Each structure stands twice: as structure tokens, then as C-alpha cells.
């Protein structure tokens, strides 16, 4: 059985004061205590009229497109977001993700030398009609350099070489790609190769690609950072990153472009301004300039009409809960990561925090143990949520206290 503690909308800037600084304490049902901001009596603020949010600037020719809030994964605007389309070189974002995951798992090492095989050179090198890195055939290169050749130069040959290094063959690597896609919940995505050149049964969606980009940003920030490198040199050849926004907006730090005749011009872009990050995807646009212009327009629209706020800090006490049969009588609750929420600009003060916690909590409790859920609502709809965790361990009490609490718990239930 659960009880819900609920507080109303808070004055601007009062979230951290209310829940982290703990200015005043109010006991709520379920023996849970939440910090509550004190409001000066006799004072009122004139509430400005809500901003009318215009429709997002629809890309001129893209078949599918969207803009999402990175903090929550919420789609702010989009069209045909679940339509299956060829992703072209946006595929390499998944290749980057798999390489990073396998590196973290210790199955490959950053000190490895990666061989540019003849297969990789012939299938994705300079003799093909796609992007290539320029690493010499049948020679090895530094692991990180090969990754950058794939990410910055969008080298198809580098993508194949990395796939072969990780899994032995590109076919085996595609199996890994689809396994990771399943783990990430990408329901309308299937990969056949590591580079994105045309292949039957190779597809994704604007929504899935945005979620993939979001996962790379959060799970492997070092690997993601390679996407903002403007140019990379292999031997005598220096190639520029095809993401034109890296030169046009300093808040843009990724992520990937793609193109082939069947996919048209595609782009996944991400920018961070303050605590707020947005991700856009446009698929099958008409040209390189068009995809850049459309992506920047969507980013500017999102930043103009939506805002992200840090509601709770990690590891700060936002509630205390009574605990039975423990050496202590209460346990401190908080979050293991900051909780952010994005709202239409100007409506931050209307957010309503709601916390669900068990009615009865019995020791022992371990630090980090999940205790309940924090939900943030706006107009009765969920904006953001996170698990409440114990910030400290509470061990079991001695025999007589446990016996006494057993009686009190029974008495309380009758």
C-alpha cells in the first residue's frame, strides 16, 4: 500500500530552497516528512500571461523530423517520427555506441591497433561512392584515430574496420548492433551493416535515432565528444566534419550527418545552452544546406519556447521517512542523479511535485535502495520522474525494539 505526498506549485526559484535547503518541515501522511518552502504572508506576484507557443518550423522537404528534450526524452514537435526510413550514415551513431559499450566492458581496449582490411578498404574506401577515411589498406592504425575517422570523416571504411575489430565480421557486428538497439528500446530499428550504405532491411526512425543519440550522450560522453571535432587528418588528407552547424552555432556539439541516394540528406543535431539540451533529427531532406538550416531552426524554436530546470540535486535530502525496527527512526531519501524537467517557457512555477512512498518501511535498509518515486506534474500530466532512494543505511534494531515495533505496527493496522 502506498500513500502520496503532494505539494502545490512553488514560487519561481523555490524548488531548491524548498526541497534541498529544507527551510521548514511539514509532516505528511505515511510518516513521511517533506521540505516545504515558507511563503511570505501578504505578498503576491502578478502572474504573466502564458506564452503562446507557435508551431515548430516545419522542415521544407524532410519526410520525417522531430525535436526532443534531452532531459526527459519528451518530443516537443515532430512529424512521421515512427516512419521506417534508411538512416544512411546516422547508422554510425549506433556503431559508435557499440564500440564504446564493448570498450567499457573490457572486450576491446583503447590501446588496440585496428587493421584496415582489404574488405573494409574495398567496401568503404576511396574507390566507392561514399565517405572514406583514408587509412592505408592492410595496415593498422591507432584505435582512437580509427574511431575519429569514422565519426568526424564519416568514413565507411573505418566503420567496417571497427566492426571487424570488435566482432570479427560486419555481419557479426550487425548482430551486436541489433542487440544493443533492443536493449535501448529502439522498436522500429534494424541494422544490416555498420556504415549505413543501402541494404535491404536496414532501417530506423526519427524517434529511434533521437533516442539513440540521447543514449550515446548520456552513456558514453567521451565517445560523443568526438562528434564536435571539426576536421581530422589521416596521412596527407584532411577532411572536414559534414555537420555545418559546428561552424554556425557554438552551442552545437554534435552529432551526425548522412546521405545516399535512397535516404536523401539526413541529420541528427544536438545543442546545449545552459542546463538545457535539445536533439533534432531530419530525414530525407533535399540537400546539405537544407538539412543544416532546418535543424538549426528547430533547435532555436525549442530553446525559445521551452526551458529546462534542475529541480533536485543528486544526494540532497528531499524527504525523510519513518522506519520501523531500525536502529534509527527515520531514513533520509533523495535521488542518485539530478532531476530535470522541461516545460513551456514561463510555466515553471506551475509544476507540482508528487512523491509516492510506501506507507510502512521496515529495517534493514541499504544506502541506494529504491524507496519510492518522485513525479513532477503539469496540468495533470507527467513531466518528469525519478526513483527515490535511501541516502543512508539503517540497520536492524535489537530484539526488544523490534518486538515493541512489531506490536505498534499491529496496533496501527487494526
127 is written with which cell numbers? 574507390
Query: What CA dihedral angle connects 326, 328, 330 and 332, to 10 degrees?
Result: -110
365 is written with which cell numbers? 535498509
Residue 38 contacts residue 24 (beta carbons within 8 Å): yes
Nearest to 351 by CA among 28, 19, 29, 2: 19
Residue 382 contacts residue 343 (beta carbons within 8 Å): no
The helices-and-strands tally (H runs, E runs) of the chain is: 11, 19
Phi first, then psi: give them for residue 126, nearest 5 degrees: -65, -25
Q: Which of 96, 133, 154, 295 is catalytic?
A: 154
Nearest to 396 by CA among 369, 357, 366, 360: 366
Nearest to 336 by CA among 316, 352, 321: 316
Active site residue 92: yes
330-334/237-240 β-pairing: unpaired
CA 257 to chain centre: 19
Active site residue 61: no
Please name the residues in contact with 35: beta carbons below 8 A apart, sequence gap of 6 or more. Answer: 18, 19, 20, 21, 22, 23, 24, 25, 317, 318, 319
Element housing 354 (H / E): strand 352-358
Residues facing 277 on adjacent strands: 272
∠ at Cα 177 (189, 78), nearest 5°?
30
The DSSP string of 56-72 is: P---SS-SEEEEEETTT
Active site residue 89: yes
Nearest to 29 by CA among 2, 56, 55: 2
- What residues act catalytically? 89, 92, 154
Amino acid at each position: 500500500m502506498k500513500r502520496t505526498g503532494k505539494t502545490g506549485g512553488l514560487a519561481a526559484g523555490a524548488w531548491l530552497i524548498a526541497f534541498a535547503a529544507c527551510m521548514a518541515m511539514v509532516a505528511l501522511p505515511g510518516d513521511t516528512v517533506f521540505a516545504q518552502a515558507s511563503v511570505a504572508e501578504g505578498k503576491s506576484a502578478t502572474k504573466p500571461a502564458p506564452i503562446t507557443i507557435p508551431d515548430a518550423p516545419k522542415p521544407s522537404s524532410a519526410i520525417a523530423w522531430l525535436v526532443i528534450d534531452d532531459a526527459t526524452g519528451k518530443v516537443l514537435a515532430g512529424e512521421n517520427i515512427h516512419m521506417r526510413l534508411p538512416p544512411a550514415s546516422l547508422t554510425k551513431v549506433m556503431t559508435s555506441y557499440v564500440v564504446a559499450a564493448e570498450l567499457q566492458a573490457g572486450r576491446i581496449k583503447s590501446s588496440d591497433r585496428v587493421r584496415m582490411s582489404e574488405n573494409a578498404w574495398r567496401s568503404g574506401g576511396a574507390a566507392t561512392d561514399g565517405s572514406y577515411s583514408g587509412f592505408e589498406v592492410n595496415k593498422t592504425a591507432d584505435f582512437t584515430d580509427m574511431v575519429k575517422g569514422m565519426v568526424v570523416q564519416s568514413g565507411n571504411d573505418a566503420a567496417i574496420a571497427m566492426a571487424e575489430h570488435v566482432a570479427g565480421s560486419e555481419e557479426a557486428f550487425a548482430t551486436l548492433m541489433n542487440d544493443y538497439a533492443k536493449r535501448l528500446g529502439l522498436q522500429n530499428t534494424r541494422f544490416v551493416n555498420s556504415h549505413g550504405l543501402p541494404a535491404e532491411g536496414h532501417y530506423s526512425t526519427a524517434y529511434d535515432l533521437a533516442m539513440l543519440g540521447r543514449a550515446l550522450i548520456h552513456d558514453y560522453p567521451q565517445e560523443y565528444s568526438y562528434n564536435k571535432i571539426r576536421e581530422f587528418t589521416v596521412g596527407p588528407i584532411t577532411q572536414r566534419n559534414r555537420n555545418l552547424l559546428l561552424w554556425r552555432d557554438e552551442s552545437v556539439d554534435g552529432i551526425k550527418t548522412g546521405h545516399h541516394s535512397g535516404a536523401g540528406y539526413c541529420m541528427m543535431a544536438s545543442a546545449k545552452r545552459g542546463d538545457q539540451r535539445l536533439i533534432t533529427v531530419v530525414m530525407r531532406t533535399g540537400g546539405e544546406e537544407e538539412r543544416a538550416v532546418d535543424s538549426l531552426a528547430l533547435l532555436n524554436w525549442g530553446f525559445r519556447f521551452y526551458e529546462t530546470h534542475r529541480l533536485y540535486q543528486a544526494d540532497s535530502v528531499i524527504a525523510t521517512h519513518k522506519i520501523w525496527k531500525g536502529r534509527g527512526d527515520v531514513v533520509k531519501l533523495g535521488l542518485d542523479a539530478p532531476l530535470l524537467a522541461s516545460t513551456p517557457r514561463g510555466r515553471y512555477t506551475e509544476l507540482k511535485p508528487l512523491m509516492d512512498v510506501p506507507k510502512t518501511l521496515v529495517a534493514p535498509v541499504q544506502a541506494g535502495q529504491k524507496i519510492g518515486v518522485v513525479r513532477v506534474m503539469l496540468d495533470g500530466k507527467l513531466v518528469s520522474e525519478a526513483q527515490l532512494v535511501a541516502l543512508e543505511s539503517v540497520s536492524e534494531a535489537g530484539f526488544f525494539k523490534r518486538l515493541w515495533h512489531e506490536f505498534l505496527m499491529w496496533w496501527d493496522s487494526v
